[in-house]
Structure 1
Amino acid sequence: MKLTTNQIDELFKFTRKHYVYHYDVQSELVDHLANDIESTWKETPNLSFEQARDKSFKKFGIFGFMDVIEAKQKAMNKRYRKILWRFFKEWFTLPKVVTTIAVFLSIFFFLKIPFSEYILLGTLFIFVVFDLINQFRNRKNQKQKKQKKEKIFLLESMIGETKGGFTGITLINAFNFVNLSHVNFSALEIHWSIIVSLTATLLGVLFYVINYIIPQRAEELLEETYPEYKLVNNL
């Protein structure tokens, strides 16, 4: 016996009820449940859809779908790191490497300005406030999508979450370091100025890639990762 379209829809609702919010993970679980239910019906055709579904669900163990969700998140984290590394490396090829060198030199000479640490603190504070506003908007958009039961893919969600997570932690840590260390940047020896400037440049490139490049290429990355993405979003 084959599952009907309504029963497949019920399985999607069932996965959402059990805290599976991303469409790609839902699809994989629904496919697995559907195959198992049909196999169960071959052995015991007298079972109702709900009974066969619950029997299949019990095979996932006491944690339900959590192990599957965790495994998918680990796999997608690995894929996201490869995407991040891909775009990060592009900044060290022409012509972008010229911009990177210019940023490095700008930071290096900026550090030589007296009381540059105070200017840096003010700049970091503005970035922190701006980032908090962006995080709030991103969470609000994600919440609205969930309420509307729109199809959200795991990579799509990860792009937004990683963007906010990296930015917030990095900016706050940098602000605390500058504020608490009381380092006089203008008095640093040249080798320390080079190290600080290089670190700031690399973090700046990483910040730009995570917050602007990857989100701008999100549609392309989603279509590359999920063959069904374009079709699903046109339904």
Structure 2
Amino acid sequence: MKLNKEQLQQINAFINKRGFTYYDLKLEILDHMACKVEELMTADDKISLDHAISMAHGEFGVHGFSVFEDAMKSSLQKRYYKLFFTTFLSYLKPVYLPIYAGTIYLMHWLAVRFNSAELVLDIAWGMVFVLFLAYLLTNYLRERRFKGMLTNQMGGFAAVMINIPLQLFIYLPGKDSDLSQGTAGILMGAFLVFSIITYLCLQHMKNTVLDACRKLEEQYRLTVGS
């Protein structure tokens, strides 16, 4: 049997009472619970909705949702990381290489032309700062109704990734030589390309997750955050 809107809202209310930190995780658990309740009520048309919900919840064991929540959180994180890295690799296709090479060459030329590794460092960090603001504006303002998403943790992950090439620059030896200025330009060019790809991957991943959340909301006739 197909669950009606009132039944779905009752399951949703039951889940809300348990409390979940991440909204996308809650939707995954709602999907699992609704499917299980529907399966139980289809197998026995005399069973009440409350009893079916209780039985479905009981299948999670004595710890209720907690163990399943941890497992689902781990599963979602792995899914998000896989999506991120798959997208990252897609931006390494030959068609994009001329753009990356041009960016790296430009940074190299600026470092040598003005004999300043600090200049290219400032340019690179300025661009990264702009990308960071763009990420905040597009995801925390435009999509502010989707607060408490597990994908938001990927921002910290990206910060760690971006910090790696920065550390390489900090320990670059011989910054006073002409060769090192060019090397610094190449390094900062690669850093900038890396940062741009990371930003694009985060945006793609976040949009994919939001689309999945919207589909689940539509499927279960939910109001966001209800």
> TM class by shorter-chain length?
0.5 to 0.7
Query: 1:100 maps to what in 2?
Result: 100
> Conserved in 1, the CA contact under 8 Å of 2:108 and 2:182?
yes
User: What pairs with 1:1-235 in structure 2 (closer than 5 Å)?
Assistant: 3-16=3-16, 17-19=18-20, 21-22=23-24, 25-26=28-29, 28-38=31-41, 42=44, 45=47, 48-61=48-61, 62=63, 63-86=67-90, 88-90=91-93, 92-93=94-95, 96-112=96-112, 116-127=116-127, 129-130=129-130, 133-134=133-134, 136-137=136-137, 140-141=140-141, 144-146=144-146, 158=151, 162=154, 164-165=155-156, 167-172=158-163, 178=169, 181=171, 183-187=173-177, 189=179, 199-212=187-200, 215=203, 229=215, 232=218
TM-score (ref. length: structure 1): 0.62
Write the distance in 2 (CA, Å) between the matches of 1:132 and 1:101. 23
The 10-residue stretch of structure 1 (21-30 or 76-85) with the greater mean CA deviation from structure 2: 21-30
State the shift of 1:5 in Å: 2.4
Write the distance in 1 (CA, Å) between the matches of 2:78 and 2:70. 12
> Conserved in 2, the CA contact under 8 Å of 1:84 and 1:209?
yes
AA in 2 matched with 1:109 = W
Gaps of 5+ in 1: none
Per-residue CA distance 1:146-199 (angstroms, 9 max, x = gap): 47xxxx9x7xx73x654x3355335555556655x4744352657x955x6555
Write the distance in 2 (CA, Å) between the matches of 1:138 and 1:44. 49
Write the distance in 1 (CA, Å) between the matches of 2:50 and 2:72. 21
Write the distance in 2 (CA, Å) between the matches of 1:209 and 1:182. 23
AA in 2 matched with 1:11 = I
TM-score (ref. length: structure 2): 0.64
AA in 2 matched with 1:74 = K
C-alpha change, 1:210 and 1:15, in structure 2 (3 Å) is: farther
Write the distance in 2 (CA, Å) between the matches of 1:230 and 1:36. 18
> Conserved in 1, the CA contact under 8 Å of 2:104 and 2:185?
yes
C-alpha change, 1:4 and 1:55, in structure 2 (3 Å) is: same
Gaps of 5+ in 2: 222-226
Write the distance in 2 (CA, Å) between the matches of 1:170 and 1:213. 12
C-alpha change, 1:184 and 1:124, in structure 2 (3 Å) is: farther
State the shift of 1:50 in Å: 3.0
State the shift of 1:145 in Å: 0.9
Looking at both structures, which has the greater relative contact order when contacts are Cα pairs under 8 Å and sequence separation is at least 6?
Answer: 2
Q: How many corresponding residue pairs?
A: 213
Write the distance in 1 (CA, Å) between the matches of 2:72 and 2:79. 11
AA in 2 matched with 1:97 = L
